[in-house]
A and B are shown apart, each in its own frame.
Chain A
Amino acid sequence: MDTSALAERLPARTAWEDTGTVVLPDVLAPDRFTALAEEAAGRLHLVTPHVHDHTAAHRDGSFATPVHCGFIPPGPVLEQLAYDKPLLMALREATGIPRLIPRGGAVVLYRQGDFQGLHTDSSKSTVTVGIALTPDLPPMGWAPHLRHPDGRRLADVVAEHGIFPTQEPFTTLPHPYNDGSVRAFAGYHFAHWRPPLPVAAGLLVTMSFMDL
């Protein structure tokens, strides 16, 4: 058997490989959004600092620059959403990745000045879903022109543009807020970052999915 035949792809997969992001409409009903937001608000005391002050290229191909924010472990509402079958099916269809499996989620808490410098996620985070739980969370920085960047390449980017690049072709990806849709992005394949938060606080749900 010639294995090249297996490389035939769905149109959704081609678009996903090209852009690394998609917005899924009608996957988060208003009552579910409210439950998520209320759950996160009730768990603020469980936050643990997520702080690194180093830059590193990891063996799995991921890359990190400094980060300063907090993680809140998932409650039952988020756990249920992270392993929700209809959401998983919608993600598989929207990305064209049929062997996508859920890994779980968490809430990221940003206080004023908190940030995540330019990074790529672990190789296990093929698809990340981000849901803004606060209305004024600014968009995420995004590098659409750097596909599958290795550590060497991202070190060059940081040397030239810093850890929060702004000049074109660097761009931003907004997170929909309570309109039923969610943003999915390819966190391992595309570099992304969040500049220091200009408002008092922001909450972002992240859920991770791995391509087997």
Chain B
Amino acid sequence: MDAGTLRRTWLAQGRADVPADAIEAGLWRALAEEAERLEPVAAVRHNRRPGLLAMRDGSITSPQRCTVHPGAEALRALAQSKTLADVAAEATGARSMTAIRFGFKYYRPGDYMHVHRDDGKCEITFSAALTPGLGSMGWLPNLRWLTTEEVVERLAGTPYPDGDVFPVQYRALTGFDGSRIPHWRTPLDGPSREVLVTVCFTDLSV
């Protein structure tokens, strides 16, 4: 895929499809093993405060429950991947991008994430499934350019709005404009726990 396609897709749709060969198979295996190994020491993230809370930085927080870990060597290797940083820069039009947040998210049956917008510093967020049964995420790309207040007003009563499907693929990264596009994950329906890996980038230049 050429850089022009990445940029056009980002501008029009708020997403960036990372080429399949950007991350080598060995790193995916290492990530899966690392996630398994760290799960016993992962922290439960359970925000119970009901409703949508508009933050000054443009993010919107809402209830969620999952388990998280910031990862180790394999995840650092993914976050520091030059290929991934280049995709992030080409898509967003930034001069250079730096990974600032990354982690494994473990979803057990019933775990969920109400509709929200990410931290305003996250200019592009990549995610991929490390297990085959994770399923897609919901998102509302049409609300990408609305203000924080407008989004809160529209979605206040709907933790899982009637929206579009964002593909979270097994061992393939997709980037999206998570600080602008409201997104959510309905309670995990199935017998097994599933694992997501996520990396967000920002342009640190002044």
Least CB distance, A185 to chain B, in whole angstroms:
15
Does A124 lie at the interface of the complex (its beta carbon under 8 Å from any beta carbon of B)?
yes
User: Once the chains bind, are A61 and B120 in contact (CB under 8 Å)?
Assistant: yes
| A124→B121 CA distance, assembly (Å) | 7
| A61→B148 CA distance, assembly (Å) | 10
User: Once the chains bind, are A60 and B205 in contact (CB under 8 Å)?
Assistant: no
| A212→B204 CA distance, assembly (Å) | 11
Does B33 lie at the interface of the complex (its beta carbon under 8 Å from any beta carbon of A)?
no
Does A59 lie at the interface of the complex (its beta carbon under 8 Å from any beta carbon of B)?
yes
Contacts of A197 in B (CB 8 A): none
Does B101 lie at the interface of the complex (its beta carbon under 8 Å from any beta carbon of A)?
yes
A1, A105, A123, A212: the one within 8 Å of B44 (CB): A1
| A3→B46 CA distance, assembly (Å) | 8
Give the size of the chain B interface in residues (CB under 8 angstroms): 17
Over the window 97-124 of chain B, the binary record of Cβ atoms lying under 8 Å from chain A Cβ atoms (1 yes, 0 no) is 0001100000000000000000011000
User: Once the chains bind, are A106 and B120 in contact (CB under 8 Å)?
Assistant: no
Does B37 lie at the interface of the complex (its beta carbon under 8 Å from any beta carbon of A)?
no
A105, A123, A150, A212: the one within 8 Å of B206 (CB): A105
Does B189 lie at the interface of the complex (its beta carbon under 8 Å from any beta carbon of A)?
no
| A207→B142 CA distance, assembly (Å) | 37
User: If the complex has contacts A61-B57, A61-B58, A123-B121, are A101 and B206 also in contact, measured as CB distance less than 8 A?
Assistant: no
Secondary structure type dominating chain B contacts: loop
Task: Name which residue of chain B comes closest to A101, CB basis.
Answer: B204
Contacts of B206 in A (CB 8 A): 103-106, 125, 208
Contacts of A210 in B (CB 8 A): 121, 204
Residues B26-77 near A (CB distance < 8 A): 43-45, 55-58
Task: Name which residue of chain A comes closest to B205, CB basis.
Answer: A104
User: Once the chains bind, are B204 and A123 in contact (CB under 8 Å)?
Assistant: no
B57, B101, B205: the one within 8 Å of A123 (CB): B57
Interface, chain B (partner A; CB < 8 A): 43-45, 55-58, 100-101, 120-121, 147-148, 202, 204-206
Q: Given contacts A61-B56, A123-B121, A150-B56, list 10 more A-B pairs with CB under 8 A.
A: A59-B58, A61-B120, A101-B204, A103-B204, A106-B206, A123-B58, A123-B120, A124-B202, A208-B206, A212-B100
